[in-house]
Amino acid sequence: MALSRDQYKDLMNQLAPPGAALPQAPESLWQQLLAARAGAFERLDGRADVLINEADPRTAYELLSDWERVAGLPDPCVDREQTIAERRAALLRVFTSTGGASRKYFQELAADLGYAVAVEDYTAHTVGDPVDKPIYGIAWRWAFTVRSAEETVIYHSVIGNVGEALATWGNDRLECVIERLKPAHTRVLFAYGED
């Protein structure tokens, strides 16, 4: 918590040596000089308090673009202006993500983006499989399907600015992010709507 101008002025008065050369009268030139210096210290202290918030990407505002530069954002899959809350969420996702190739990883990734999905993977058909199981070849081991609603609506936080959209529609971002983060040797299929 930053100190006020008066508190800084009092501190500087306490540090000054006593005597007639440095008068304590409020209208004296010395006190006016201390008041001006105290204002500078107050502003500096206030900026230091702001820096504490800026040091955390979840609360950054002024340094948000610097955080994004460090994290390699904005995401190439984003084709529109993002809200402040979305930009912070993207930063948090980049800094806390451990990556993966499991169904759970892709379901959590989609959930972080605001999509409810089911992920289905495939195995090659073997002699021991039941007769009603679909017959997939060897190449299907490297494929998986992401199932989602026909059209996803993502509602945004009220933390943003007045001009920001309250909701967005579509699944393009989901497809782009999963395509970009899936293992290179795999193929992903997207299925929308009912099974």
Residue with tokens 């040091």: 55
Specify whether 168 is located in the same domain as 74.
yes
Specify whether 72 is located in the same domain as 50.
no
Specify whether 92 is located in the same domain as 29.
no
> Count of alpha carbons within 13 Å of 175, Cβ hemisphere only?
12
Bridge partner list, 190:
146
Examine residue 186 and state whether it is found in any structural domain, yes or no: yes
Task: Tell how many helices (H) and how many strands (E) occur in the chain.
Answer: 6, 5
pLDDT in tens, 77-89: 887 788 898 899 8
**Dist. CA 96–CA 33, nearest whole Å:** 49
Examine residue 60 and state whether it is found in any structural domain, yes or no: no
Residue 157 Cα to chain centre, angstroms = 13
pLDDT at 103 over 80: yes
Specify whether 74 is located in the same domain as 168.
yes
Examine residue 73 and state whether it is found in any structural domain, yes or no: yes
Specify whether 77 is located in the same domain as 12.
no
Bridge partner list, 155:
167
Examine residue 59 and state whether it is found in any structural domain, yes or no: no
Specify whether 17 is located in the same domain as 75.
no
**Dist. CA 8–CA 37, nearest whole Å:** 8
Examine residue 63 and state whether it is found in any structural domain, yes or no: no
Who's near 109: CB < 8 A, 6+ residues apart?
A: 97, 177, 178, 181
Specify whether 98 is located in the same domain as 47.
no
**Which of 59-73, 106-120, 125-139 has the weakest average pLDDT?**
125-139
Specify whether 87 is located in the same domain as 179.
yes
For the chain, what percent of residues have pLDDT higher than 90? 44
How many domains, the chain? Answer: 2
Specify whether 115 is located in the same domain as 155.
yes
Examine residue 62 and state whether it is found in any structural domain, yes or no: no
Residue numbers of the domain that contains 40: 5-54
Q: Strand ranges (DSSP E) for the chain?
A: 117-121, 143-148, 153-155, 167-169, 187-192
pTM: 0.61
Bridge partner list, 192:
148
